[in-house]
Amino acid sequence: MNALVEQVRAATRTIAPKLFERARFGREQLAALQTQRLRALLSHAAEHSPFWARRLHGLDLARFELADLVRIEPVSKAELMAALDDVFTDRALDRKQVEESLARTGRDPVPLLGRYLAQATGGSSGQRGVFVSDAATWAEVSGGSFRAILMHAPPRAAGRVRVAMVAAASAVHSTGLAAACNDPSGPVEITSVPVTQSLDAIAARLDALQPDSLIGYPTLIGRLAREQAAGHLNLSLRQIVTTSEMLTPELRAVIRSGFGVPVLNVFGTTEGLMGGTEPDGDVFTFNSDTCLVEIVDADHVLITNLANRLQPLIRYRLEDRFTRAPDSPAHGHVRAAIEGRCDDILRFGTIEIHPLVVRAVLLKHPEIADYQVRQTARGLELVATCDESLDGSRLCAALRSALAGAGLPDPEVTLTRADAIPRDAMTGKLKRFVSYRH
């Protein structure tokens, strides 16, 4: 048995009761916890990380307040990755060791220095990032997403809740790691059903498992919902949880209709910000006890991971669009709607095309089961899995009209029919809109 997996399981058993207690913290109680943890994080980073020692120099960290965060310059993924060896607070750790661990990672994590685990993100959608934590940190961060799920779970029958995780097969990605680190003595039994398998294989495995809950990427769960509606899948689910990709309105409708149960959406980042909606809701409640989130404006979100002292992330930029929602009277945690990834926007010079311009057209074509939009120099290529009945010429004409109406002159649109949409080989995630790179 992987010793690091056992460390994660033990840490999960310890942190879980605290996480549920913190979920009910009011604003004052939460702010006091955040301030205490922030001071400890900053002091540790300044003492042990050359990178952060330089950036935090001159600040009174012992009396640092939440309002003082604006005095710290935000950091981008590119900056952090360029200086990674100096970012780590364990000076025995370096980038080479991290990459070697990631290269050898399969279903289970490969321990770094016997006590750390590594994950990678963004390899298919932009600047690649690697993130390292100890078992306690990962248990707390991942616990933020499971807290969101369990707080809205239907009443549990006798025995363990059976969960099928239709997501990544590798522990390099959080969904794969969650399945690998599942505690067999706990109340939830998670079985990994890798998304990189064929749809038929996934459906057959789910039929055999008959899970109570289904967790996975909305693009794939949408396809499974269509299989259920067509009678090719026979699941009696109590809960559906989507994660790791944008849950579009059209996908939510397909999933809700196909399975007939509420859809809870979970937002998670490898960097540490986790959140979940209420069933069929659009507003996320975030794990503000573990990760500070600053919504500067619609295009600028900064996070500070209060739990990870090994690779400090302080005022770290995310590329997601948040709209702050009113506070809840029940707790003090940050609430926000997520409008989509910034890189979902298709930019043609000064002209910006919102994904809804394309989605609004595709929504009218039920013959399309799945798709990917690839931006070209003067328009887009639509790669779609679809019925033979799809009128490609009519669809392309409608897309050209929509793009022109959104301000793109003389757009070019092509349709490529495919048996499946290519996914990232390691994580199994699908990037819905691929921006053009010259």
The arithmetic mean of pLDDT across residues 367-394, rounded, is 90
Q: Is the pLDDT of residue 406 over 70?
A: yes
The pLDDT tens digits for 44-94 are 999 999 999 999 999 999 999 999 999 999 999 989 999 999 999 999 999
- Summary mean pLDDT of the chain: 89
Domains present along the chain, CATH in parentheses: 1-340 (3.40.50.12780), 345-434 (3.30.300.30)
Task: Measure the CA–CA gap between 425 and 438, rounded to whole angstroms.
Answer: 24
Amino acid letter at 397? A
The arithmetic mean of pLDDT across residues 114-131, rounded, is 73
Q: How confident is the model at residue 124 (pLDDT cuts 50, 70, 90)?
A: very low
The arithmetic mean of pLDDT across residues 200-207, rounded, is 93
Least confident span in 13-22, 126-135, 363-372, 409-418? 363-372
What pLDDT does residue 342 have?
47
Q: Is the pLDDT of residue 1 over 60?
A: no
Burial string for 64-96 (b: 16+ CB within 10 Å, else e) reads: beeeebeebeebebeebbebbeebbbbeebeee
Task: Measure the CA–CA gap between 261 and 338, rounded to whole angstroms.
Answer: 22
What pLDDT does residue 126 have?
39
Distance of alpha carbon 30 from the chain centroid: 24
Distance of alpha carbon 117 from the chain centroid: 18
Q: Is the pLDDT of residue 189 over 70?
A: yes
CB 132 within 8 A of CB 117: yes
Q: How confident is the model at residue 103 (pLDDT cuts 50, 70, 90)?
A: confident
This prediction's pTM: 0.80
Q: Is the pLDDT of residue 286 over 80?
A: yes
Cross-strand pairs, 215 = 165, 241
Residue with tokens 């499946």: 420
Number of Cβ atoms within 10 Å of the Cβ of 52 = 23
Q: Is the pLDDT of residue 172 over 90?
A: no
What pLDDT does residue 417 have?
95
The arithmetic mean of pLDDT across residues 245-274, rounded, is 91
Distances in whole angstroms, Cα of residue 70 to Cα of each of 44, 73, 106, 164, 288: 19, 7, 40, 42, 17
